[in-house]
Amino acid sequence: MKLFHILLLGLIVVTSSSCYEKEDGCLDAEAVNFDVTADENCCCSYPKMVLTMSHAYEDSGLSFGTNYLNNINSPFQVLSVQYYLSGFSLVDNSNNSFVTTSTVSLPQLTGGNIETADDFVLINRGVFANVDSIGFFPTYGIFEKLQFEIGVKEVAKNTDPEKVDESFPLATQTDSMWYNNGQYVAAKIMLKPDTVEISDTITINIFENSLVSLDSQLELSRATHLNLQLQVDYAVWFNGIDFQNDSQQSIINQIQSNLASSLSFY
């Protein structure tokens, strides 16, 4: 009888073991999809910076084709706007800078490839979905500054737009941000420098990058994405411009000097 019970118990154990299916999941506690119940480690995803953009004109949303007056009462309309953001870094209280560990290999006009942080965003007010990932940041703590550039960072300016993946921000665009003189445009704006029907449309191309440095208390925690919420006030872009009398180069210079101060957290 005792032998029978032992054999029966063994049969139950074997049967139970054969019915159990191991579960795959992430066993890294620093990942955002950590699963303590998993048996086999796989598929871990790590904290990343997620960008949300709000497009404002003073206290309202930017509206294309709307009649605006700037701070010196010069009338104009905005018809379209596009610009690059790149070179994102988090700066701690010891002035140490941290960039994303996500990288991309970019084909160069001169041949070969360069490897750089994959932190490029193309902002198009009419197309941009307002949310984009700037890559993984496996660095934790509180950061006192967020820094980035309006424009394509220097290391990537020699990228061949015809050879990168068509879904990548630096690829050739329908409304091109790449010019045959071998330069990416930092920002491109189409304007009517008056509100009357016969007003001509002008295109403003800004090639020089602008550095943005925002004071912050951003906290990047383990197992949590950092939701970066930025607002751009386009009214600031056009401050100080006399659209009826300033030359196109003067307009370009003034917008260039205004760009960095138009961005803030919201």
Q: Beta 40-41 vs 24-25: how paired, if at all?
A: parallel
Give me the number of domains the chain comprises.
Answer: 1
| Domain-embedded: residue 92 | yes
- % of the chain beyond a pLDDT of 90: 58
In a domain, 14, yes or no: no
Residue 116 lies in a domain: yes
- Structural tokens at position 206: 């800004």
Check if the beta carbon of residue 90 is closer than 8 Å to that of residue 97. yes
Is residue 80, in this structure, part of any structural domain at all?
A: yes
For residue 226, give its domain range: 48-259
Q: Is residue 12 part of a domain?
A: no
With b meaning 16 or more CB within 10 Å and e meaning fewer, what string describes 161-186?
A: beebeeeebbbebeeebbeeeeebbb
**Burial tier of 92 (Cβ tally within 10 Å: 0-12, 13-18, 19+):** middle
Tell me the pairing of strands 187-192 and 75-91: antiparallel
* Residue 83 three-state SS: strand
Report pTM. Answer: 0.84
Residues of the chain with pLDDT under 50: 4, 7-8, 11-17, 128
Question: Letter for the amino acid at 233?
Answer: D
pLDDT digits 0-9 by tens, 47-91: 788 898 899 999 999 999 999 999 999 999 999 999 999 999 999
What is the DSSP annotation of 199-260?
Answer: PPPEEEEE-S-EEEEEEEEEEE-TT--EEEEEEEEHHHHTTT--TTTS-HHHHHHHHHHHGG
Residue 218 domain flag: yes
Structural domain includes residue 251: yes
Q: What does each C-alpha distance from 73 to 48, 196, 238, 244, 249 come to in angstroms?
A: 43, 15, 11, 11, 20
Sign of CA dihedral 184, 48, 103, 210: positive
Tell me, what's the pLDDT at 232? 95
Domain assignment present for 245:
yes
